[in-house]
A and B are shown apart, each in its own frame.
Chain A
């Protein structure tokens, strides 16, 4: 069953990436699949509609659950962050306050690899932020603010 859900999630990601204008070849490379499998996916073959429905429900979970569940299923951080970022409809803007002490706990926690430290301050790449709030919860000085925004930044 987990395998089927992963297929469903990859299908949703593939469809969205094609919609964004990527070629089948590029999609295959990103998702590390055969090009023919991508083609099958897009034609609705080799895939049960049930898996897609379950995957769709998962993408509508709160971002933290979507992210952690996807990571648990794939156990691959690079593919997880691509699937989550592609399937998420919402955009987020992250802000780090001056009170940040640069402990790096957020960077270690972030499954989207969106955080790096620069001059003892966390820098969050809003393009990759999925709004899971795990960094905010782990921050010892409450220095992280995550806002949901209307469109991409």
Chain B
């Protein structure tokens, strides 16, 4: 399984960034909705759309997919 994103669908809402348990443990400020300050996180919203940075850290728990309102991020 691999983490995939579709930037065309992405609203840039950042719910996946905040919901991702790995992101939150890497960068606690993510949990407060302040946006990541490090590219160490799995994903971030950049220029209004989601972008993957450290996808190798993804444990494929499926949380991002469950929360994304537009199916812009998923496991395949």
A and B touch in the complex (CB under 8 A): no
